[in-house]
Amino acid sequence: MAYFDWNATTPMEPVALETLRGALVEDWGNPSAPYRVGAAVRSRFEAAREAMAAALGFSPEGVIFTSGATESNNAYLREMALQLSEGELWISAVEHAAVRAAAARWWPGRTRHIPVRGDGVIELEWVSEQLGQSRPALVSVMAANNETGLIQPWEELSQRCAEAGIPFHCDATQWWGRAPEADFSQCTAVAMSAHKFGGPKGVGALLLKSPEALPRLQEGGSQEHGARAGTENVPAIRAMAAAFLADRPGAPRQAQWRDAFERRLVAELPGVRVNGAGSPRLWNTSSLVLPDFSARRWVPRLDREGFQVSGGAAC
Ligand code: PMP
């Protein structure tokens, strides 16, 4: 079977699986407990946070572990809506549902869509023009699109927002494990999910540049520097850190494979269109418009032939 849906989820990295297995056995204590068994768990758990924070360029206090990018996006957009009772949220029209639906719920009547070009990339000039006339309360644009692999100019945008003093949130879920190393520390808030880069499902993080500016995402105990109450899923968090920091020497990051595949499809199947062809895209993603394509018919058919592909976002 050939698996072609790594943007939906990835198999676990061997080192992450090993860490998870070990942590399920050794990290059974409550990390908030004051005695030895709890303290040992706490110290391994905080080491994972520190290692991730250092690699990402955030402070350890700025790494809030969550259940994944859906929670990170929702929690941040909700809290910012409560904090900033005036002003607009600007998002792109091609955001993941975890941003679009959260915007609709928490920023009703004050969400504006940044226009995108035909290839799905946001119009940066529009942002520059609009910033001359009005000032949004918050801007949220993803790093790379889960369906098309298109890379948004999030670095330039985060720079412009920083210069204008406007908070910038980036859903970077599809970045790690696929795109080159990048510096997200210019962003005010960043969402990530472990299962997209070889970690377990149901765990992720919200990275915050100024953690003190954010009130509690969840009420209860004082876990996660008081930002998100609830006993932490230590084994999953440690496995996420192991996956994140994993050395992947053999990992192919070769856009020429994607391009050769697309060239062949276009040559052999008349009427095929490649979304975002010619624009900066993740090396692992091909998004195709096929003539007479019905995902309901083709996805099971390709599955029977041994190819697991998707007809759109899985989640
Ligand atoms: N944002 C993007 C860009 C995604 O691709 C996904 C997962 N498809 C999510 C957010 C949500 O991630 P999760 O389901 O792990 O919470």
pLDDT digit string, tens, across residues 23-82: 999 999 999 999 999 999 999 999 999 999 999 999 999 999 999 999 999 999 999 999
The mean pLDDT value of the chain amounts to 94
Q: Is the CB of 174 under 6 A from ligand 1?
A: yes
Lowest pLDDT segment from 181-190, 273-282, 286-295, 302-311:
286-295
Tell me the β-bridge partners of 92: 114
Please choose, from the candidates 25, 22, 31, 23, the residue with its C-alpha nearest in 3D space to the C-alpha of residue 231: 31
Lowest pLDDT segment from 11-15, 16-20, 178-182, 228-232:
178-182
Asked whether the predicted pLDDT for residue 249 surpasses 70, the reply is: no
Nearest ligand 1 atom to alpha carbon 202: 15
pLDDT digits (tens, 9 = 90+) for 180-228: 889 999 999 999 999 999 999 999 999 999 998 877 899 999 999 999 9
3-class secondary structure, 135: coil
Known catalytic residue at 161 = no
Asked whether the predicted pLDDT for residue 252 surpasses 70, the reply is: no
Vertex 235, ends 232 and 239: CA angle to 5°?
A: 120
| Distance separating alpha carbons of residues 200 and 207, to the nearest angstrom | 18
Question: Ligand 1 centre from 97 Cα, in Å?
Answer: 8
Q: Identify whether the C-beta of residue 136 lies closer than 8 Å to the C-beta of residue 89.
A: yes
Q: Is the CB of 149 under 6 A from ligand 1?
A: no
State which of 6, 192, 193, 206 you would mutate to test the pocket of ligand 1, scoring each by most atoms of that ligand within 8 A of its C-beta. 193
Core vs surface per residue 39-60: b (16+ CB within 10 A) or e: eebbebbeebbebbbeebebbe
The values of phi and psi at residue 251, to 5°, are -65, 120
Nearest residue (CA) to ligand 1, atom 7: 315
Asked whether the predicted pLDDT for residue 292 surpasses 90, the reply is: no
Question: Ligand 1 centre from 232 Cα, in Å?
Answer: 20
DSSP structure class, residue 228: B
